Every structure is written in structure tokens, then in C-alpha cells.
Amino acid sequence: MANFGGHAIPGSFFLLYGFWLTVKHILQHHWRTNQPKARRVMPPLFRKLDYMEGGFLIFASFVGIMVEQFVVDGPHARLYNPEGKSWVKLMNWQHSTMYLFFGISGMALVASTASKQVPAGLDRLALSLALFVEGKSSFGSTWFLHITDTFSPGVCFELFRCFFLLANGPGFLFLYHLHNRPLLDAHIHSLLLFAVFSASASTMLEVFKRDDIVLELLRAGLFFLQGSWFYQIGFVLYPPNGPKWDLTLHDNVMFVTMCFCWHLAVALLLVAGISSAVWFAVKRFSGRGQDMEMRITSSKSSSQKALLEESDEE
Amino acid sequence: MANFGGHAIPGSFFLLYGFWLTVKHILQHHWRTNQPKARRVMPPLFRKLDYMEGGFLIFASFVGIMVEQFVVDGPHARLYNPEGKSWVKLMNWQHSTMYLFFGISGMALVASTASKQVPAGLDRLALSLALFVEGKSSFGSTWFLHITDTFSPGVCFELFRCFFLLANGPGFLFLYHLHNRPLLDAHIHSLLLFAVFSASASTMLEVFKRDDIVLELLRAGLFFLQGSWFYQIGFVLYPPNGPKWDLTLHDNVMFVTMCFCWHLAVALLLVAGISSAVWFAVKRFSGRGQDMEMRITSSKSSSQKALLEESDEE
Amino acid sequence: MANFGGHAIPGSFFLLYGFWLTVKHILQHHWRTNQPKARRVMPPLFRKLDYMEGGFLIFASFVGIMVEQFVVDGPHARLYNPEGKSWVKLMNWQHSTMYLFFGISGMALVASTASKQVPAGLDRLALSLALFVEGKSSFGSTWFLHITDTFSPGVCFELFRCFFLLANGPGFLFLYHLHNRPLLDAHIHSLLLFAVFSASASTMLEVFKRDDIVLELLRAGLFFLQGSWFYQIGFVLYPPNGPKWDLTLHDNVMFVTMCFCWHLAVALLLVAGISSAVWFAVKRFSGRGQDMEMRITSSKSSSQKALLEESDEE
Amino acid sequence: MANFGGHAIPGSFFLLYGFWLTVKHILQHHWRTNQPKARRVMPPLFRKLDYMEGGFLIFASFVGIMVEQFVVDGPHARLYNPEGKSWVKLMNWQHSTMYLFFGISGMALVASTASKQVPAGLDRLALSLALFVEGKSSFGSTWFLHITDTFSPGVCFELFRCFFLLANGPGFLFLYHLHNRPLLDAHIHSLLLFAVFSASASTMLEVFKRDDIVLELLRAGLFFLQGSWFYQIGFVLYPPNGPKWDLTLHDNVMFVTMCFCWHLAVALLLVAGISSAVWFAVKRFSGRGQDMEMRITSSKSSSQKALLEESDEE
């Protein structure tokens, strides 16, 4: 992963996923606000979207695990080498673990879409866990392995801390500094983790507060932020064309900090723009195309009304 | 406790308790979702289950305290030795304190089951406190006593921190490192504490959000995680058969971190599997056996209906 | 304050306040659960209780400020000494500030009792702030002044941290250790702060979740804990009769940690016992004495019913 | 910004904004409590107030960005100097970024006022983000640039931490101390950040808990605190007339800590006073002037009632 492509691929994935989430949640929100509360039956379209999303997550995570395991220099499903008394390619195993949890998140989404028995909020819990494990893995594999061995065990625990604090703060950077790594490298990854763990925390909140459009768009926005920041990391640490960045220059660190704020602003803008576009498109479309749907709904609702009236009359 | 058995006994206990909680909460959830809201009277079965659970907790904690006090090399209920001017067997006293709080949790469960006057949520508050004190005690007794004296007072306060942060982060590991203890030992116990304090925190949440099946199953899952991790600690630190682990090898630390994620995945799978099994069993059973119950319920509800109609007519 | 009496006076105060809160909230809870929701008009008794509590807080804080200012070696309302170019008796000013906030909390209680316009939850917010400032002051004055000057500014900020984390963790104790202070002293005060800031945090929660009996009793219990722990500090650091404690002995630190758990258990027991006693007393009393009250209430409610029926008929 | 005026201008702005918020929210609260729930249609006055506020924020942030960019020694919209291979005036860019987010917050306020499609709570989310970025920028620019380069990257991450913890605690001050900066300087800025990030966090809470008058007034109070503390910083660090403060004197640090509590008390008092004044003014005014409004409202409501009755009769 230590090249530009290794950052561009997840970046593109997360940008696309952010786009998908924005569109999906705006469609759902449009439906929710335009339907009266009593008759709010999720239309089949949304179930199909959720099946697609879940299926994609399962499929992608399966492919990811297979690639990580059976790539030329991969572990080929061997975990321990008894001859050399050593573990085999732990980094690939970590990536597989990371994909596994995204796969579990996809399964949870499919399950909670397919059955009413599955409690609402389970899919969000699983996604939150997947993001958490993603943060952990990317943290552990891309970053800390470069540092000396002594500090690495702190990684995981630090991340539990991050998950709840969205912070590992000065203590961490202080230690980092002790190991004489370039500060820009540490700093730019910290900012990525901020996006990942924010998304994890906001998704966790959704377990308890379902169908809150602000939270849902916040999640989409944090995926955009994560995606675009992956690209930024690629451009800064492995510039595809152009000169290398001076990773120790203080001004670069300051600029990157500010740049993160800009990425945040752009992510907000993207969510706002896409939301508005989808909203207006749906409105125009529903003016023309909703007729048939309306007729079905209205006939349904009128029969319901009749039923209600009968029960009232009883 | 510093042997394999000392970790296998609590491990088995927590695995069983996780299983019990999963079954109980799924049964309760099945009842809740199948009953209309107005008539939701907890059936006697659930009261009995709660009495059993509470009684077991009280009994087990009583036995635990007795064993810790009156075992051959125990304190025999003596706290202070005036001759030697020293405390007597503080570790046994700590374990007793730990059991005491599980006993209190059992009492709270019995009380809140027996009387409607006892406010809902009290049992969860007590269980949360018990887990908290458990974390504290296990932390203090099995781990830190090995280290030099200077750091020990930080234990308790660190744990208050853990309770709210689920984290003691790099600062702690840094200090640990200063004392030249093997990092794998520190790391594997940190991961245990994560499971304990997560369970404590999620139980605390249940005080405010009752009857949320996601939270209840999360708690069950965290008990599974705690139980299986106790076994893992036993296998790593005191391998019953086979070679010793190198506690300073960086790859071992990395593997243990990843392994914790797998335990988490397995715990999720176990909860999902048991839940589904119980759910389908209940469904099949209720198709055949619920007839009598149904008849009672329906007659009750019809009389209630009649009552309501009368009041409407008035 | 650096003697046994200086710890016994606030200890007694907090024990009494805990007792008062338990009784008051159980009475309120009894009223709430026995009244139907629609007619829940707070009876005059509770308003009187709240006026008394608020008035007492204002009066006590006024007396406290006066004593701190005009005691023989007090600042006599002078803050700055222009001749010596120094502040005058800052510790007394800090105590005055602490009392001031308890006074403000009393005013908020009176105001929110007197007027419906004052938003509910304001009294809890003020009490939470008062506890917060109390923690801060007691922290700053009794403890840190003994340490070298260099670290003192961290006090306040550390406390903001405590307020939200209820923790200052190992970093703090590490620094403390650097200054070669006895660890037992640090540790026993940390545990006090835990009680103070827990009470502050749980009171803050009540701003958003009014009339939750679990939270109210938790607050009462934490006041008990705080009160009894003040006594414990007095007994350990300034033993009135008997030998001095060895403040550096590791076993003492371990015992104090465990002892805090016992205080917690006793506080829980006290709240449970007092609650039950009050509940049964009220039940017996209301069987005999509630007749007159009932008659008034029923007549009121019947007139309300009539009103409602009229409005329905319209 | 490193002079008295640079602190007085934002101080005045925040004091005014606190005043504005108090008045606005009390007016809204008065309206909410006096209207029955069903007919609660926001009167045009409030929409106008919100448009004004949003417009002012957009306008002020635009002016701020222009000034920062095109002031004599500003960057004139140039970010990178390819000849010198260096960034151009990063501090001005940081201030612009800060203004940008206040502008975005203004836009969100206008959007959520103008359209019902915009989800409620978006304006608060944007304001929360703006305060967060403000804290970050002011932190980064006024303070840390003075310190050596090595620690600066911690700034941003520390602030993410602050945002959630409202704390950066002893670790930070410890590091600060290592760089031999005067402690009073560090301490007084920490207290400012406390006010900024508290406001950010309480605004974030409002996303989920709309129309809670306690939270709204808390926000107003924190703006007062922030404003008056800016003045205090100005007076302490750049005394306009009078002697310089000794930035290393321990008593000064203690006094500043206590002084912050007084500012907090004064802010509470200001909010209480302004609220009461507005409340009574509105009451007197509405006794005389509300007639016309009432008539409109009542005619509206009667027509609504008629409509409802018709629909009932159908």
C-alpha cells in the first residue's frame, strides 16, 4: 500500500460510497417526509438498494480477502510457519481481517433488510465496527510498522481510545517524535484517523437514533472526507509527478492542517450539492412519473381508510 | 490465579453467562414483539428466569467470598494484623470485594423483579458497577502486583478513566514499558479490560434505554468476548501443553491484536447463531404449544376489549 | 482545612445533604407514581421543600463567604495588595468562589420553584456547575498548593478534563510522582475527586432527563460517598487518635482503593435502606392521613373532569 | 492579533453575539410556551431575525476573508510561492479558513430558515463546526506559532481531542513547560479554548435536542464568557495602561483561574438578567400590542378549526 495507487484505490472507493450514501439517504428522506406516518411502508426500491449495497459489500470483501491471501507474495491462507517459528505475512492477514468486518457489515445489512425480526440498528452497529477495525488495521499496517517495534502494541489500545475520543493527542505525537519520524507523516495519518473514527462514532450514534437525516448525511460527508484525504495522503507522501515534499518543514504541517479543513468544507459542499440535485430531480420526476405509483398508493390507502372507517363505525 | 485454570474458570463462567443472556433476551424480545403494547404483561416465566439469575449471582458471590476468605492460605476474615502492623492477604480481600458487587447486582435484579416500586434500570446499574469493580480488581490483582510498587496507585484511577474512555492508551503503555515488563503481557490484558469496560459502559447505557435488543445482545456478545479472551490469555501466558510464547516478539503482539478482532467476530457470530436458533425454536414451539396460552390471552383481551367498548359507549 | 475538623465539617454536610436528597426524591417519586399523569400538579409540600433547600444553600453560602472573608486571618474583602504588589489570601478567595457557586445553585433552585417561566433543568445545571467549581477549588487549595509551583496551572485544565472524563489518569500521577509527594496523599484525593465529578456529571445528565429516580438516587448516593470519603481522608491523613499512616506503603494504597469500593457499597446500601424506609412510612401514613388530601384532589379532579366533558360536548 | 485591539475586537463581537442570542432565544421561547402545540407556526418575525443573523454572518465572514487576503501585508490570494518554494502568509490563510466556516454556518442558517426541506439541526451543526475551526485556528495562530516548530503539528490533533474532551490536560502543559514558555500565557489561552470548545460541544448537542431553552441559553452564556475572556486576555497579556503582569508568578496563575470562575458567574448573571428583562418587556408589550396579532392568529386558527371540523364531519 506504500505507493500512490495504494491510496488512490481506497480513496476512490470511499468517494463513491459517500456518493451512494448521499443519494440513498436523500431518496429515503424524501420518501419519509412525503408519506404520512401511519402508512410508511418502505417501498421495494429501497429494499433493492439495500440488498445491492449489502451484496456489494459482501462481494467486495470476499474479493479483497482472496486477493490479500492468494496474491503472489501473500500468505496463501497459511498463518503460522512452524519451521521458521514465525507468523506468515501478518499485514495481509490484517487486511483480510479488515475486509472480513466490512463483509460482516454487508451481511448485517442484508439480514436487517430481509427480515423484520432482525432488530433495527444492527446494520449500523456492524458498519461502525467495520470502520473501527478499518481504522485499526490501516493504522497498524501502513503506519506503525515503520516505527521501531517497541511502541507497536500501543497501536490497538490507542485506537480503542481514538474510537471514543477521536483523539490520541499530544502524548502520541510526543512518542512519535521520540522515534524521529517525520512529523508530517504522523500528522497526515492522524487526520485520516480522525475522519475514520468520526464516521465510526457517528454511525454508532445512528444505532440509537434511526432515520435522522442529519446524522446520515454527516456519515456520507465523512466518507467523502475520508476518500479525498486518502488522495491527499497519496499526493503528499508519494507525489506521482513533481518534487517530493519536505516532511519535516513546519509550514507544510501547518498547510496540511488547514488543507484538512478545506477538504471538510468541500465534503460538506458535495453533500449539499448532491442532496439538492437529487431532491430536485426526484421532485420533477415524481411530478410526472409518480402517477402510477400514486394510484397504487392511493388505492391502498383508500382501502385502508375504508377499513379504518369500518372499525370506527363498529 | 496466575495459571491456566485461573483463567479458564472465569472464562467458562462468562461464556455461559453470555449464552444465558442471549437466550433470555431473545425470549423477551420475542415476547415483546408479539404482544400488543397495551397488554404487555411480563409472563411469569421471565420473572422466574430473573429470580434464577439473581439467585445464582447471590449464591455464587457468597460461595466466592467464602472460598477467598477461608481457603487454606486465605485471610480468614482478618483484615489487619496488629502485630506485624500489616494488612492480611489484600488480594483475597480484593477478590471478595469483586464478588460482593456481583452479589449486590444479583440482589438488585431480584429486587427489581419482585417489586414494581423498585425503579427500572436499577439492576443494570448494579451490573454495570459490578463489571466496573471486576475490571478494577482483576486489573489490580492479576496484573499490576507483579510490577514495581511505584505505579500501583495509578491502577484505580486509571480504571475510572478506562470506564469512561475504555482506554488507557499510550501513556500507560509507555509507563509500562519503562518498567521493562514484556509488552505482550500488558497488551493482552489491556484487550481484556477493553471487553470488561465496554460491557460495563453498554450496561450503563441500558439504564437509560431499556428493552433495546441491540444493546442487550451487545452485552451478551461482550460477555462471550470476555470469556473467550480469558481462555486466550490462559493459552498465551500459561500454555497448558506446548512451547512458551516469546512475550517480547513484535509479531506475537501484532497477532494477538488481530486475534482479538477474530474473537470479536466469533462473539458476534455466536450471538447471531444462538439468537436465530432460539428464535426459530420459539416460533415452532409457539405454533404448537401456544394454543392454551393463546386462549387465556385472547379471553383476557376480549374481556378487556369488552371493557373498553363499554367505556367508549358511556 | 489541613486538619481532621476541616474534613469532618464538609463530610457531615455532604452526608446530611445526601440524606435530604434521598428523602426528598423518594417522596417526589412516590407522588409521581401514584398520580395519574394528567393531573400531576406538584403539591405545595414539595415547593416548600425546594424553597427550604434553596434558602438553606443561599444562607449557608452567604455565611461561608463571610467567614472566609472576615475570619481573623482572612482577606477582609481585599483582593490585591498594591504595596506588596501581591494578591491577598487567594485560598480564602477560592473558597469564597466555591461558596458563591453553591449560592447561585440555591438561587436557581428557588427561581425554578417559584416561577414556571424559568426553564426546568436550570437548578440541576447550576448544581452541576457548583459541584464542578467545588471540585476545582478543593483540588486547587487543599492539594496542589503543597506541590511546587511549576505544575499548578495544570490544575484547572486538568479539572475541565476530569469533569468530562472523571479521570486524570496516569499522566497526572506520573507527574505527581516526579515531585516526590507521598502517593497515598495523591491517591486518596483522586478518589474524592472521582466522587465529586461523578456527582457533577450525573447532575448534568439530569438537565436532559428530568424526574428519573435512578439518576436522582445516584446523585444522593454520590453525595453520601463524598461525605463519607471526606471522613476517611480525615482519618487517614490526620488521624485524630492513633498512629500515623505510612503514606508511602504500597499496601496502604491498595487498601484505600478497596476501601473506596466499600464506601461505594455502603452508600448504595444507605440509599436503598433510607428509600425503603421512607417508602413504607409514606405508604402507611397515606393509608391513614391521605383522606383529606384525597378528597381535595378528587374534588379538583372531578371538576376538571366536568370541564373536560363540557369541552367535549361543545 | 498580538496586541490589545486584536483581542478586543473579537471580544466585542462575541459579547454582542451572546446578547443577540439571548434575546432571540428568549423571544422564541416566549412564543413556544404561549402557543398551543398544534398551531405552532413560526411567525415571520423569527424568520426575519434568522435571515438577518445568517446574512450578517455571511457578510462579516466575506469582509473578514477579504481583509485577511488583501490587507497590505496579506497573501493577496496567493497560496504558494514557487520561486521561494514556500507557502505565503499561512496565518492569514488560517484566519480566512476560520471566517469561511462562519460563513458556511451563516449559509446553513439561511438555508434552514428558507426551506423546510433542509433538515432541522443543520444550522447548529454548521455553527458547531465553525466554533470548532475557530478554536483550532486561534489556537494555531495566536499561540503555538511562538513555540518551537517541533510541537506544532500536535495542535490540530490536540484540538480534535479538545473538542470531545474539552481538555488537553497535563500532558500538554507538561510539554509546554518543556519549551520554557510563561505558564500564565499557556493557562489563560487554555481557559479561552475551554469556552470555545464548550460552546462547540453544546451547539452539537442542540443538533439532537432542538428548542431546548437551557441549551440555547447555555450557548449564549458561553459566547458571553468567550467574549469577556478575550478582553481579559488582552488586559493580562497586553495591558493598555499600567504595569506588565509577571507571567511566571504562581499567584497570578491562581488568580486567573479563579477569575475565570467569576467571568462564568457574570456570564450566567448576564444571561439571567437579559432573559428576565426581555421576558417582562415582551409580556408588557404583548398585553397592549398583541391584539392585532392575536386577531390574525385567532382568525387563522378558527379557520383551521373549521377546516378540521369539516374533515371530521366528512
The proportion of chain C whose per-residue pLDDT surpasses 90, expressed as a percent, equals: 21
Helix B169-178 to helix B154-165 angle, to the nearest 10 degrees? 150
Top pLDDT among D147 and A8 is at A8
Does C242 touch chain B if contact means CB atoms closer than 8 Å?
Answer: no
| pLDDT at res. D136 | 61
**Residue D164: its pLDDT value, please?**
33
> Is some CB atom of chain B closer than 8 A to the CB atom of C187?
yes
Q: Are B169 and A171 in contact (CB under 8 A)?
A: yes
Task: Say yes or no: D193 contacts chain A, CB-CB below 8 A.
Answer: no
DSSP per-residue letters across C234-292:
HHHHS-SSSPPP-TT-HHHHHHHHHHHHHHHHHHHHHHHHHHHHHHHHHHHHHHHHHHH
Contact between A106 and A61 under an 8 Å Cβ cutoff? The reply is: yes
Give the residue from C123, C200, C210, C128 showing the smallest Cα distance to C166. Answer: C200
pLDDT band of C55, cuts 50, 70, 90: very high
Residue that is written with C-alpha cell 484487550 in the block: B191
Chain D residues with beta carbon closer than 8 angstroms to that of A257? 136, 140, 153, 155-156
Per-residue model confidence (pLDDT) at position D220: 94
User: Which is more confidently placed, A152 or A79?
Assistant: A79
Q: What is the pLDDT at residue A170?
A: 34
Mean pLDDT (chain A) is 74
Mutate one of D95, D115, D143, D156 to test the A interface: name it (highest A CB count within 10 A).
D156
SS3 A82: coil
Q: CA D249 from chain center: how many Å?
A: 32
Q: How many CB atoms lie within 10 A of CB A231?
A: 18
Cβ-in-10-Å burial (0-12, 13-18, 19+) of D88 comes to middle
For chain A, what percent of residues have pLDDT higher than 70?
72
d(CA D232, CA D259): 9
Give Cα separations from B14 to A49, B52, B276 (angstroms): 39, 16, 21
* In contact, B230 and B8? CB cutoff 8 Å: yes
Q: Which of A186, A214, A279 sits opposite D153 (nearest CB)?
A: A186
- Compute the C-alpha angle B252/B258/B262, nearest 5°: 130
Q: Are C104 and D265 in contact (CB under 8 A)?
A: yes
Integer-rounded Cα radius of gyration of chain A: 23
* Whole-number pLDDT of residue A162: 35
Mean pLDDT of the region C137-157:
36
Confidence (pLDDT) at B288: 59
Across the interface, whether the CB atoms of B100 and C170 are under 8 A apart is answered: no
Measure the CA–CA gap between A141 and A7, rounded to whole angstroms. 13
Query: Which residues does chain B have within 8 Å of residue C213's beta carbon, measured at their own beta carbons?
Result: 119
Whether residue C261 contacts residue B101, with contact meaning beta carbons closer than 8 Å, is answered with yes
How high is the pLDDT of residue A165?
34
**pLDDT string in tens for chain D (314-residue length):** 567 877 888 889 899 999 999 999 998 888 888 776 655 566 788 889 999 999 999 998 898 888 888 887 778 888 888 887 788 887 788 878 888 898 999 999 999 888 887 888 888 888 888 887 777 655 543 333 333 222 333 333 333 333 333 333 333 333 344 344 566 776 677 677 778 877 888 888 888 888 888 899 999 999 999 999 989 988 988 888 778 888 777 778 778 878 888 999 999 999 999 999 998 898 888 765 554 455 555 555 555 555 555 455 44
Segment A113-131 mean pLDDT: 85
A204/B contact by beta carbon, under 8 A? no
Of A90, A100, A136, the CB nearest to B265: A100
**Statement: residue C274 has pLDDT above 70:** yes
pLDDT tops 80 at residue C211: yes
| Residue among C97, C149, C155 whose CB faces D261 most closely | C97
Q: How confident is the model at residue B229 (pLDDT cuts 50, 70, 90)?
A: very high
Full 3-state SS string of A224-254: HHHHHHHHHHHHHHCCCCCCCCCCCCHHHHH
| pLDDT tens readout for residues C194-205 | 788 778 888 888
- CB-CB: which of D149, D152, D164 is closest to A165? D164
What length is written for chain C?
314
pLDDT at site C180: 47
For residue A46, the model assigns a pLDDT of 86
Helix (H, G, I), strand (E, B) or coil at A212: coil
The residue count of chain A comes to 314
Mapped to the 3 state alphabet, what secondary structure does A99-142 carry? Answer: HHHHHHHHHHHHHHHHCCCCCCCHHHHHHHHHHHHHHHHHHHHH
pLDDT of amino acid B183: 64
Best-predicted range by mean pLDDT among B173-177, B201-205, C13-17, C240-244? C13-17
Cell of B84: 506485624
Tell me the residue type at D134: E
Give Dmax over CA atoms of chain D in angstroms: 82
Q: Does A261 touch chain D (CB under 8 A)?
A: yes
B54-63, B88-97, D87-96: range with highest mean pLDDT? B54-63
Tens digits of per-residue pLDDT, A126-159? Answer: 888 888 777 765 554 333 333 322 233 333 333 3
Structure-model confidence comparison of residues A163 and A44, the more confident one: A44
pLDDT above 90 (res A286) = no
| Tens of pLDDT, residues D74-83 | 788 888 888 8
Of the candidates D8, D1, D6, which has an alpha carbon nearest to the alpha carbon of residue D227?
D8
For B38, the enclosing helix (H) or strand (E) is none
Question: Chain C contact for D183, CB < 8 A?
Answer: yes
Tell me the mean pLDDT in the region C123-144: 68
* ipTM (interface predicted TM): 0.72
A interface test, pick of B196, B258, B309 with most A CB neighbours within 10 Å: B258
Angle at D261 between CA D259 and CA D264, to 5 degrees: 115
pLDDT at position A58: 93
Maximum pairwise Cα distance, chain C:
82
Q: Is C91 exposed, middle or buried (0-12, 13-18, 19+ CB in 10 A)?
A: middle
Give me the helices (H) in B119-153, please. 122-138
Residue C154, phi then psi, degrees to nearest 5: -65, -20
Query: Which residues of chain D make contact with A265, given a CB cutoff of 8 A?
Result: 100-101, 104
Cβ distance C97 to D258 less than 8 Å, yes or no, reads: yes
Provide the mean pLDDT of chain B.
74
* Residue D182: predicted pLDDT: 64
Residue A223 reports pLDDT greater than 90:
yes
Q: Does C160 touch chain D (CB under 8 A)?
A: yes
Predicted pLDDT of residue C138:
57
pLDDT digits (tens, 9 = 90+) for A291-313: 444 445 555 555 555 555 555 44
* Residue (of C155, C50, C184) closest to C106 by Cα position: C50
Cα B156–chain centre separation? 19
Contacts by B271-276, CB closer than 8 A, 24 or more apart: B271/B18, B271/B22, B271/B217, B271/B220, B271/B221, B271/B224, B274/B19, B274/B22, B274/B23, B274/B26, B275/B22, B275/B26, B275/B217
C-alpha cell of residue D125 = 451543526
